[in-house]
A and B are shown apart, each in its own frame.
Chain A
Amino acid sequence: DAGVIQSPRHEVTEMGQEVTLRCKPISGHDYLFWYRQTMMRGLELLIYFNNNVPIDDSGMPEDRFSAKMPNASFSTLKIQPSEPRDSAVYFCASTRDRGEYNEQFFGPGTRLTVL
Chain B
Amino acid sequence: AQSVTQLGSHVSVSEGALVLLRCNYSSSVPPYLFWYVQYPNQGLQLLLKYTTGATLVKGINGFEAEFKKSETSFHLTKPSAHMSDAAEYFCAVTPRGSQGNLIFGKGTKLSVKP
Contact = CB atoms under 8 A, between A and B. Distances in A.
Interface of A: 4, 31, 33, 35, 42-45, 48, 50, 55-56, 59, 91, 93, 95, 97, 100-104, 106-109
B98 A42 contact: no
B99 A102 contact: yes
B44 A91 contact: yes
Where chain B touches its partner, the secondary structure class is loop
Given A4-B43, A103-B46, A106-B43, A45 B101 contact: yes
A94 to B, nearest CB: 11
Given A42-B106, A45-B102, A106 B90 contact: no
A103 B106 CA distance: 20
Interface string B68-102: 00000000000000000000001000100011111
A101 B45 CA distance: 16
A97 B104 contact: no
B99 A95 contact: yes
B33 to A, nearest CB: 10
A31 B99 CA distance: 8
Contacts of B51: 100-101
A101 B98 contact: yes
B62 to A, nearest CB: 19
B61 to A, nearest CB: 15
A4 B43 CA distance: 10
A45 B107 CA distance: 15
B46 A43 contact: no
Contacts of A35: 102
